[in-house]
């Protein structure tokens, strides 16, 4: 079977075609971040954890106290959609709890100050 010569394609008609997402974001990277600013994330502050048997859980009643493994001086984990993003300390603002961020997570997901 003889080899076929590749045909030269005329791509000149595609040179002036604009792609809205590419032209908007490539020229200004802040536009990419701007598109994400309204995306909602679930934030969770993890005070501590413990392991309990099902029997112990079924024995819990109003007023029961569950001892957590974290110490009071240990930083609290702050998660965004389940991923660690920062650590902080609990603060009380009027009648509400809050979290003062003391350390953030870098690109390698290691805590840094």
- 41-112: which CATH architecture? Roll (2.30)
Cβ-based neighbours of 75, under 8 Å, separated by 6 or more: 87, 88, 89, 102, 103
Return the top range by mean pLDDT from 36-50, 54-68, 93-107.
Answer: 54-68
The least confident of 21-30, 35-44, 79-88, 95-104 is: 21-30
Pairing of strands 76-80, 43-46: antiparallel
pLDDT at 66 (0 to 100)? 93
Domain ranges of the chain: 41-112
| Cα–Cα dist 100/52, whole Å | 29
Q: pLDDT at residue 28 above 70?
A: no
Helices (H) and strands (E) in the chain, counts: 3, 5
Average pLDDT, the chain: 80
Q: pLDDT at residue 90 above 60?
A: yes
């Amino acid at each position: 079977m003889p080899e076929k010569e590749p045909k030269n394609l005329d791509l000149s008609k595609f040179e002036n075609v604009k792609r809205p997402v590419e032209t908007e974001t490539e020229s200004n990277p802040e536009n990419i971040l701007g598109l994400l600013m309204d995306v909602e994330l679930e934030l969770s502050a993890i005070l501590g954890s413990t392991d309990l048997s099902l029997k112990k859980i079924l024995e819990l009643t109003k007023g029961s106290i569950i001892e957590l493994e974290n110490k009071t001086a240990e930083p609290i984990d702050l998660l965004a959609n389940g991923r660690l993003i920062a650590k902080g300390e609990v603060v009380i603002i009027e009648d509400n709890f809050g979290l003062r961020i003391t350390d953030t997570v870098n690109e390698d997901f290691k805590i840094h100050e």
